[in-house]
Structure 1
């Protein structure tokens, strides 16, 4: 192993940590010295230890995930504000209930189905001299457009 890769604790302080913190982090991940230098100074492979000295320590806690908020109080305040905002939106009729939304979509779908079932019949009535081939082409176009509308509604 290249000796320039072997650093003692004093040299590892270049990572911005004190010796005690370095020892603690290396011990936590199970890294042992790979050699000893003068005066039995422990030497560590800098390539092996650098990732553990550069990253912020991960706190192990039983605390719930706070979704990026610093404290539980901030998270609670955010949730409460969102509830109040939703309530105000509903009170001002800016928001609709899920039931109303589903009823509106059902009405739209019913209107589209009715259109699909009557469109060709209306064209036949309005243009009595249309050929069967023309009506089939028109029906294919209607079906294509109806599938596109159906896809947009379902997405």
Structure 2
């Protein structure tokens, strides 16, 4: 190594597990020029070049992404198995269809809103001394609680 520990030549940069020609190509592609020369040997700032020599290689292929599977056949088998698993779960009613879920959620929200109207009417008929202001306050509180319940159901 040279006396300036930050400045490395191509041979020293081989510590990044690349051949000198590969290092040259990577640095040229990144637009990195030598910061100094020792005779005719180019020296590079190791702090500047390290990020380009430690990056994972970028896959430049027209082939489809196989999500980590070694072959297309393995990937296809995985997709098929997932489809069969989903079909089995539907058959055993472990999963619910999205439309059924949304429909059931809508019925829950409707029932809760209906409860609010019914509850206010029952309070009005059961308590004959209740004032219109008290009924309005009760309805405001019901609306506040109803919004909280609705928000909670929609997040499920």
> Which band: TM-score by shorter chain?
0.7 to 0.9
Match in the other structure for 1:24: 25
**Cα deviation digits, residues 18-48 of structure 1 (max 9, x gap):** 323322322333434344323x223333333
Match in the other structure for 1:13: 14
> What TM-score, normalized by structure 2, do the two folds share?
0.78
Match in the other structure for 2:37: 36
CA distance, structure 1, for counterparts of residue 129 and residue 35 of structure 2? 95
Alignment of 1:17-96 (within 5 A): 17-38=18-39, 40-96=40-96
Unaligned runs of 5+ in 2: none
The alpha carbon displacement at 1:88 in A equals 0.5
Task: Give RMSD over aligned pairs.
Answer: 2.6
Unaligned runs of 5+ in 1: none
The alpha carbon displacement at 1:121 in A equals 1.1
Q: How many residues align?
A: 153
Secondary structure at 1:10's aligned position in 2? Answer: helix
The alpha carbon displacement at 1:69 in A equals 4.0
Secondary structure at 1:43's aligned position in 2? Answer: strand
CA distance, structure 2, for counterparts of residue 75 and residue 6 of structure 1? 46
CA distance, structure 2, for counterparts of residue 47 and residue 97 of structure 1? 54
1:152 is the counterpart of 2:156: no
The alpha carbon displacement at 1:91 in A equals 0.6
CA distance, structure 1, for counterparts of residue 105 and residue 146 of structure 2? 15
CA distance, structure 2, for counterparts of residue 98 and residue 4 of structure 1? 62
Q: Against the structure 1 CA distance between its residues 134 and 45, is the aligned structure 2 distance closer, same or farther, given a 3 Å change threshold?
A: closer
